[in-house]
Amino acid sequence: MNDKRDILIIDDEQVILDAVFKIAESEGFKVETALNANEALSKINQDNYSAILCDIMMPEIDGLQLLDKLNSDHKKIPVVMITGYSTVENAVNSLYKGAVDFIAKPFTFEEITSAIYRAVAYGKLQSKIEEAKKNNKEGSVIYVPCPPRYKRLGNISWMSLENQGTAVIGVTDLYLQTLHTLKYIEMLETENVIVQGNSCAKLETDDELTHNLLASVGGRIVERNEMLLTDPALLEKDPYFKGWIYRIIPSDIEYEMKYLISCSSDRM
Amino acid sequence: MKTKDFISKIGLKLIVAVGVITMVIIGVFSFFSIQAQSDALLSQAEIQANKLSETIKNSTHSSMLQNKRDEIHTIINAISQETSIREIRVLNKEGRIMFSSQSDLIGKMVDKQAESCYACHTADKPLERLPINERVRIYKISPDSPRILGVINPIYNDESCWSADCHVHPKEQKVLGVLDVKMDLTDVDRQISNSEFRFIIFAIIAIVALSFIIGFFVRRWIGKPVQELVKATNQVSTGNLNYTIKGSGKDELGILASSFNNMTKKLAEARMQLFQSDKMASLGRLAAGVAHEINNPLTGVLTYSSFLLKRTKGNPEMQEDLQVIVRETKRSREIVKSLLDFARQSVPKKQRADINEIIEHAISVINNQLSLKHIKLEKNLDPNLPQVTVDTNQVQQVFINLIVNASDAICEDNGTIKISSSSISLSSFGTAHIKRAVCPKRHDLIDNEIKIDGLPTVKVKVVSNGTEGMLNLDPIYGKHRHHYGIEIKKGKTVQVACPKCNSSLIVNDKKCPKCNSSIFSFEIPSQGMFEACTNPDCTWEKWAEVDEAGNKEYVEIKISDNGCGIAKEDLAKIFEPFYSTKGQTGTGLGLAVIWGIVDNHNGTINVDSEVGKGTTFKIRLPI
């Protein structure tokens, strides 16, 4: 893997390419652009990229098909989906298919920057894991996978059903590993309704980035972990138990479940 | 108004019918009454004539005996002065006129067949005694002369006659002659014709009066309401469904008028719903298109401006302006998002759910908000509500939005929001009719030769127990009056195929849920598949698409407030996107989104509102 931190942006709209190009370049990334999936695929074959930002709605080959293609080619490049047609369902589906993240158009400078940083960090983490596997370093723990009975939305957030029908949601350690140290967490008040794949909390890190945390399931918030407000570090220390974020009454758990990945497959 | 219109046709018919009846009744009545009157008058005249005849006979008796013919003449002439007496004459046995009030006839012979004679002389042997009731006869000399009443009074031979001095008549003679008095019946006839005339006048007056009375009431009770109905139907046919018939009474026409009003109201609602549905669909497509297209330029604006914001940290003046751009672009983003929510093309994620539970959820979300505004919430939820297949999120959104709207509409202190749920059943449209049917190879299965209840049937070929025949299926779904051209043996394997191409219609992986026999199916173009059991004793049939469409059970949810209400001119527009009465605070998409959601659930939403009294939203969701 190339260490250049190159990123590839794929979108059929020139203005998006220009904007993201400018932003990414200002952040010190080396950026390539592609106006369609075919052009992108040939670039991917020539070069190694640290991360790919890809629009879902594109003529001919769309973002999801491109994702499938990359998966079948065993290209382990972190892909962030960009969706203009913000049907959350599409985006959540892309996470299920292996995208690391997604952002909805129109996005702000902060949103796209934080997504790029996370994706690049994710790529690095992946290669570390690969390396560890190669070197067979059993003892080294790079991240803590989520407990077997949990389910996760991509590698971002988890949820765990409780006996009384409520669900607890939180953020995965893998996601936290892609962030810098947490400074503050901004949470919604109780009684608010969150939607699967939509932002449910903002994580502020010490590199001045704000990360929108995507909700693993939708529902009405009945309780939130007030301890996190005073002690954000708790999230990093124990992301799966004491670092829970919300307790919710799920609204449509049966339907949303099909986009969640069971954590029991994570430990081998 | 023309006279033709004035007397409406029903009125005219009624007048003719009643006129005929009146005429018959009065005619029959007057016939019998005139008959009775004329009988009475005639019998009176007869009695009078008889008396007169006796008087003449008695007064001439002595003169006869003394053979004083001049005296007799004088008496007869004197009596015949009476105007009603036409003639008095005395005939002898041979028929010779002995005396007469008309002197020129004296001495003439009268034929025995003449009026005066035939009462006694009709039989071969002349009667010797004539009963009193047969002495009278009524006749006319010529057709236009007045009627004449004749009284014959036989003069019998008695002792004084044959013992008198003159001794003209022998003792053996029984009848000596006849006194014949003829009286004019002109008076009687005049009286009778007078009464006839009176009855005719009476009948005419009665018929005219009745006609006027009937005409008046027909016009009032039938003509006017019918005219009003015709006017209303014309209005409706030109497309004005808001026309209502006013002031209809409580009679049959009044009921018809109010049922007409009801029908136009329902039609207007249905048209509104259809129109709205159509408009929403196209608006939805437009909104989605616009949102999609606008997202890209918006992304450009947002990224560049937020990028600039980041880069100009040291320039507070610029920062301020850029912040406005970023803020306003973010606001545009929210509008686009709600537009997309409205236009969401995705199928609702439906599942069986309890509407009451969704209502409770919705209430718990906004309860705080309501109690802050001191709004009372009244729930009247039917605990036995059947479950409904809905997207719980979307439906909850509907309730939340409606309750929030209701609370926004309440401006006074004693605000109340009422929420009720109930299950209702709406009448279905009747039984479904299979009009088209095709085999898998698109051959037409409709048979026009064998009809059931007058309708063409669906013909399929059946092979059972080695024999082959045709089966004609009842085209009415569920009636099962099939026409079997072949006996299908129970328990044997049955093959059902297209009569034209022989391709099998048997459904392999499915059995009849009633009797577990094999089933067959065919397609009803654009209306899904029709399935039926091969067992002739089993009535199982299934037409899934019609079953769904014929589903007329609904859950009805009403959300009402006692707030300021919606003006009538606004009511029609409230479900339109970007229509808001909340001014700057709303995007005007809330109700449009609600409408879209309800429509996506094949439900309906209606609103009733009165300014100052409150608003009621009524949602019906099919079960």
* Averaged pLDDT of chain B: 81
Distance from the Cα of A139 to chain B's closest Cα (Å) equals: 43
Residue B588 has pLDDT above 50, yes or no: yes
Region of residue A154 (phi > 0: left; psi between -120 and 50: alpha; otherwise: beta): left
Q: Which residues of A touch B (CB under 8 A)?
A: 13, 15-16, 18-20, 22-23, 26, 57, 84-87, 89, 105-110, 112, 191, 193, 195, 218, 220, 249, 251-252, 254-255
Angstroms from A130 CA to nearest CA on chain B: 35
B187 has a pLDDT exceeding 80: yes
Residues B67-98 pLDDT 10s: 788 888 888 888 888 888 888 888 887 778 88
Task: Say which amino acid occupies A165.
Answer: G
Contact call for A254 and B326, based on CB within 8 A: no
- CATH 3.40.50.2300, chain A: domain bounds: 6-135
- The class of domain B252-343 in CATH terms is mainly alpha
Is the pLDDT confidence value at A86 over 60? no
Smallest Cα distance from A255 to chain B, Å: 7
Residue of B nearest to A106 (CA): B299
Note whether B299 contacts A89, CB cutoff 8 Å: no
pLDDT at B97 (0 to 100): 85
Q: What is the mean pLDDT of residues B263-288?
A: 76
At A2 the pLDDT is 41
CATH classification number, A151-265, choose in 3.30.930.10, 2.40.50.100, 3.40.50.620, 2.40.10.10: 2.40.50.100
Examine the pLDDT at A169 and tell me if it is beyond 90: yes
- What are B469-473's contacts with CB under 8 Å, separation 24+? B470/B499, B471/B496, B472/B447, B473/B434, B473/B532
Residue A18 pLDDT exceeds 80: yes
Rounded to whole angstroms, the Cα distance separating A34 from A43 reads 8
CB within 8 Å: B326 and A251? no
For residue A106, say if its preceding peptide bond is cis, omega within 30 degrees of 0.
yes
Residue A171: alpha-carbon gap to chain centroid:
10
Is residue B2 predicted with pLDDT exceeding 70?
no
Matching CATH number, B351-426+552-622, of 3.90.1150.10, 3.30.565.10, 3.40.50.150, 3.90.550.10: 3.30.565.10
Residue written as token pair 């079997």: B484
Among the residue ranges A136-140, B169-173, B527-531, the one predicted with the least confidence is A136-140
**pLDDT exceeds cutoff 60 at A257:** yes
CATH 2.40.50.100 domain residues, chain A: 151-265
Given this model, what pLDDT does residue B6 score? 52
Q: Give the pLDDT confidence score for residue B578 in this predicted structure.
A: 66
Question: Quick one: pLDDT band at residue B617, thresholds 50, 70, 90?
Answer: very high
Cα A96–Cα A101–Cα A106 angle in degrees, nearest 5: 120
| pLDDT at B554 > cutoff 70 | yes
Chains A and B form CB pairs within 8 A to the count of 92
Where does chain B hold its CATH 3.30.565.10 domain(s)? 351-426+552-622
Task: Provide mean pLDDT across the span A169-184.
Answer: 90
Q: Looking at the predicted structure, is the pLDDT value of residue B126 above 70?
A: no
Nearest to B303 among A107, A249, A254 (CB): A107
pLDDT in tens, B3-53: 555 556 777 888 888 889 988 998 898 889 988 988 898 888 888 888 888
Reported in sequence order, the residue ranges of A59-129 that DSSP labels E, i.e. its strands, are: 79-83, 101-104
Inter-chain residue contact A106 with B310, CB threshold 8 Å: no
Structure confidence by residue, pLDDT tens digits, B215-239: 888 888 888 888 888 998 998 888 8
Record: contact A107-B391, CB cut-off 8 A: no
- How far, in Å, are A20, A154, A172, A214, B350 from residue A199 at the CA level? 21, 14, 15, 4, 24
User: What's the pLDDT band for A137 if we cut at 50, 70, 90?
Assistant: low
Q: What is the pLDDT of residues B128-166, one digit of tens each?
A: 666 767 778 888 877 777 888 888 888 888 777 777 666
The arithmetic mean of pLDDT across residues A91-105, rounded, is: 86
pLDDT exceeds 80 at position A1? no
pLDDT at A150 over 60: yes
Output b/e per residue, B228-260; b: 16+ Cβ within 10 A.
bbeebeebbeeeebebebeebeeeebeeebeeb
Long-range CB contact pairs, B163-171, < 8 A, 24+: B164/B65, B164/B66, B164/B67, B165/B66, B166/B65, B166/B66, B166/B67, B168/B67
Task: Say what the pLDDT of residue B582 is.
Answer: 59
Q: List the single residue in A57, A107, A249 with the smallest CB-CB distance to B302.
A: A107
Burial class (CB in 10 A: 0-12, 13-18, 19+), B368: exposed
Query: Span B43-185: which CATH code?
Result: 3.30.450.20
The answer to which of A85-94, A102-111, B77-86 has the lowest mean pLDDT is A85-94
Cα B523 from Cα B438, distance rounded (Å): 5
Looking at chain B, the domain(s) classified CATH 3.30.450.20 span 43-185
- Considering only CB atoms, A19 lies closest to which of B303, B349, B392, namely B303
Residue pair A77/A44 in contact (Cβ under 8 Å)? The answer is yes
Instruction: Check pLDDT > 90 for residue B177.
Output: no
Residue A229 pLDDT more than 70?
Answer: yes
CB contact under 8 A, A15 and B344: no
Distance from the Cα of B396 to chain A's closest Cα (Å) equals 9
Minimal C-alpha gap between B292 and chain A (Å) = 6
Distance, CA of B617 to CA of B595 (rounded, Å) = 11
What is the rounded radius of gyration, in angstroms, for the C-alpha atoms of chain B? 53
At residue B374, the pLDDT reads 84
For residue B586, what pLDDT is reported? 56
Percent of the residues in chain B that have a pLDDT greater than 90, as a whole number: 5
Please name the residue of chain B whose CA is at the shortest distance from the CA of residue A57. B292
| Per-residue confidence (pLDDT) for residue B1, from 0 to 100 | 44
Interface test with A, best of B393, B397, B399, B400 (most A CBs within 10 A): B393
| CATH class of residue range A6-135 | alpha beta
Q: How confident is the model at residue A53, as a pLDDT? A: 92
Q: Name the band, by pLDDT with cuts 50, 70 and 90, for residue A80.
A: very high
> What pLDDT, on a 0 to 100 scale, did the predictor assign at position A85?
58
Burial (CB < 10 A; 0-12, 13-18, 19+), residue A149, is: exposed
The pLDDT, as a whole number, for residue B428 is 44
Confidence of residue B596 (pLDDT cuts 50, 70, 90): confident
For residues B234 and B230, give the distance between their C-alpha atoms in angstroms, rounded to a whole number.
Answer: 6
Chain A interface, best mutation among B290, B294, B299, by max A CB count within 10 A: B299
B436: its two tokens: 């088209």
pLDDT score for B551: 55
At A139, is the secondary structure helix, strand, or coil?
coil
**A-chain residues within 8 Å CB-CB of B306?**
108-110
Query: What are the residue ranges of CATH 1.10.287 in chain B?
Result: 252-343
Contact B296 A57 (CB under 8 A): no
Query: How high is the pLDDT of residue A168?
Result: 93
Q: Which helix (H) or strand (E) holds B568?
A: helix B568-571
Which residue of A20, A108, A166, A209 is the best one to mutate when testing the B interface, meaning the one whose CB has the most B CBs within 10 A?
A: A108
pLDDT value of residue B400? 84
Residues of B in contact with A29 (CB under 8 A): none
**B364 contacts in chain A (CB < 8 Å):** 191, 220
